[in-house]
Amino acid sequence: MTPGEAAAWMSVEYVKLNRVLYQQHAAGWLAEFESGQTYSDTRGYLCVSEEALKVFYGLTANIVYDRGEKFWRERLPSDKSGRQQ
């Protein structure tokens, strides 16, 4: 699976799941299909690859990643600039 295919799937899931996509759900699905688009971080958490995230962010202009809750959501007026909150 290419980063583009992974990002396209994430975009569809994001909309399907009411504009919320949890890292665990996305990375788990991608890992289950041995997509090559995941890695384990220093704490052992399964994460979506940087390459797939770059494409995903290119497809989704108004999304931020909530680090505390570990999910992507729509940007709020109170959010700081940047993609991570």
Domain ranges of the chain: 3-74
Provide the residue type at 53 as one letter. L
Task: Identify the segments of the chain with pLDDT beneath 50.
Answer: none
Q: In CATH, what is the architecture of 3-74?
A: Orthogonal Bundle (1.10)
Looking at residue 69, its pLDDT comes to: 93
Residue 23 makes CB contacts below 8 A (sequence gap 6+) with 45, 46, 47, 48, 65, 70, 71, 72
What's the rounded Cα separation, in Å, for the pair 28 and 12?
Answer: 16
Looking at residue 5, its pLDDT comes to: 94
- Cβ neighbour number for residue 78 with a 10 Å cutoff: 6
Q: Do the Cβ atoms of 37 and 49 come closer than 8 Å?
A: yes
Looking at residue 61, its pLDDT comes to: 84
